[in-house]
Amino acid sequence: MLLFLSIFLVGWFLILATSTLLFAARPGSQPGALPTPLPRVSILIAARNEEAAIARCLTAIRQLDYPAHLLEVLLGDDASTDATSAVAAQTMHGFAGSFRILPIQATLGLARGKANVLAHLTRTATTDFFFITDADIAVPRTWVQGLLAHTAPGIGTVTGLTLVDGPRLFDKLQGLDWLMSLGLVQVVSDQGRPVTAMGNNMLITREAYQATGGYENLPFSVTEDYELFRATIRLGFGYRIIFRPEVLAASLPMHTFGNLLHQRRRWMRGAESLPRWLRIGLLYHAGFYPALLLLVWVAGPAVAGWVLVIKMTLQGALAYFSFRRAGRRAPLWLMPLFELYSFTLTFAITIFRLLPISFDWKGRRYT
């Protein structure tokens, strides 16, 4: 048993150390020249009961450095029962660009939820570049040109960088978890292996979107962004995953641990459709804490403690490089608390996944 655990943990550490070195050594996709003349672009936002967040999202869009007359902002109100539309209209009053609120009532084809809203918005959009974000996201001023600078013939999607941001300790732990995870995604993407795209910070060309048939013709998924991304890859379109400060958007955190569990359960649904090699890799990564508990039993708490120190050191290095590339300072002082957070979340989401219960997202139930 001790030999098996040693092999498992050494392999785990080698993968993490190698990934950190690769991330630190490779700069990733570099921006090119912007299209000339600057094109009109469409910003698409799906919103459902977002009266508390939508003003923050739209205020950030009003502050974009991109010429306002070249912006078409379309907000799809997905049967909200609060004042989402009224707050949005008030926030965008006097906007120099184009702004419309579309009440979403009909269902298009196979699309449901957010995918259905985006299906409607893409049909309304009048430009060749669809910039997709969420109502709980605040994009940076340089967002539009930051993503446009990575477009090229044959490129279907360009995905930006998102950091969970908030003042509470729980918020900061989510941000640390999220940015380190994106660092690992970047490593795999830089190897030419498409992993995923984030629908809260993504550009997709009209050409690539229409080639897929649109959301109304794609299989329904609660991770609709990954389903769309995978469809563009199958059709031969290229992609860019960007880990740069000019495309760093700030996401509101989950306010409670229960909300976080429901979010992660939704993401796990998407992970279940990832390529087999990647699913195996995720399971291997998640096996650290069970292996650590076995190590306590087999070799004692002192040995397990040193193994945990090695893990924190390696993850601290990954956090340092991830935050530095994003133009932020890594909260390395959180690493000990992050272990408790990760341990609790790993076991809670495993139990949540195994139990035959549904999960809630945006007021809708999924199984």
**192 vs 47 pLDDT, higher one:** 47
Are β-strands 248-251 and 137-138 bridged in parallel, bridged antiparallel, or unpaired? antiparallel
Structure confidence at residue 363 as a pLDDT band (50, 70, 90): low
Is the pLDDT at 333 greater than 90? The verdict is yes
Q: What is the pLDDT of residue 364?
A: 55
Percent of the chain scored above 90 by pLDDT?
64
Structure confidence at residue 295 as a pLDDT band (50, 70, 90): confident
**117 vs 357 pLDDT, higher one:** 117
**195 vs 367 pLDDT, higher one:** 195
- Summarize pLDDT for 54-70 with one digit per residue, the tens: 999 999 999 999 999 99
Q: What is the pLDDT of residue 177?
A: 93
Percent of the chain scored above 70 by pLDDT?
93
Domains defined for the chain, CATH in brackets: 2-26+267-361 (no CATH), 41-253 (3.90.550.10)
- Average confidence (pLDDT) over 242-266: 89
Residue at token pair 């600078």:
149
Phi-psi region of 300 (alpha: psi -120 to 50; beta: other; left: phi over 0): left
Residue 41 CA to residue 138 CA, distance in Å, equals 18
What is the SS3 assignment for 152? coil
What is the SS3 assignment for 204? strand
Lowest pLDDT segment from 45-59, 69-83, 326-340, 343-357: 343-357
Q: Which helix (H) or strand (E) holds 108?
A: none
- Summarize pLDDT for 263-289 with one digit per residue, the tens: 777 776 666 666 676 667 777 787 888
Sequence-distant (≥ 6) Cβ neighbours of residue 4 within 8 angstroms: none
Q: What is the pLDDT of residue 359?
A: 52
Lowest pLDDT segment from 41-45, 252-256, 342-346, 347-351: 347-351
Is the pLDDT at 32 greater than 60? The verdict is yes
Q: What is the pLDDT of residue 131?
A: 98
Q: Which helix (H) or strand (E) holds 73?
A: strand 71-77
Q: What is the pLDDT of residue 29?
A: 80
Is the pLDDT at 235 greater than 90? The verdict is yes
Q: What is the pLDDT of residue 122?
A: 97
Are β-strands 98-103 and 71-77 bridged in parallel, bridged antiparallel, or unpaired? parallel
Is the pLDDT at 361 greater than 60? The verdict is no
What is the SS3 assignment for 170? helix
Q: What is the pLDDT of residue 226?
A: 82
Structure confidence at residue 103 as a pLDDT band (50, 70, 90): very high
Structure confidence at residue 213 as a pLDDT band (50, 70, 90): very high
Going by C-alpha positions, the residue among 267, 271, 311 that lies closest to residue 289 is: 311
- Average confidence (pLDDT) over 341-351: 86
Q: What is the pLDDT of residue 91?
A: 97
Q: What is the pLDDT of residue 1?
A: 78
- Average confidence (pLDDT) over 192-202: 84
Using CA atoms, how far residue 49 sits from 53, 67, 79, 91, 206, in Å, is 9, 29, 8, 16, 28
DSSP letter, residue 70: G
Lowest pLDDT segment from 12-16, 99-103, 217-221: 217-221
Is the pLDDT at 366 greater than 80? The verdict is no
Assigned token pair, 221: 């998924």
Residue 225 CA to residue 113 CA, distance in Å, equals 12
Q: What is the pLDDT of residue 278?
A: 65
Q: CB neighbours (10 Å) of residue 293?
A: 13
Residue 76 CA to residue 296 CA, distance in Å, equals 52
- Average confidence (pLDDT) over 218-245: 89
Q: Chain-wide mean pLDDT for the chain?
A: 89
Residue at token pair 């409670």:
256
- Summarize pLDDT for 132-152 with one digit per residue, the tens: 999 999 999 999 999 999 999
Q: What is the pLDDT of residue 28?
A: 79
Check: CB of residue 196 under 8 Å from CB of residue 157.
no
Q: What is the pLDDT of residue 242?
A: 93
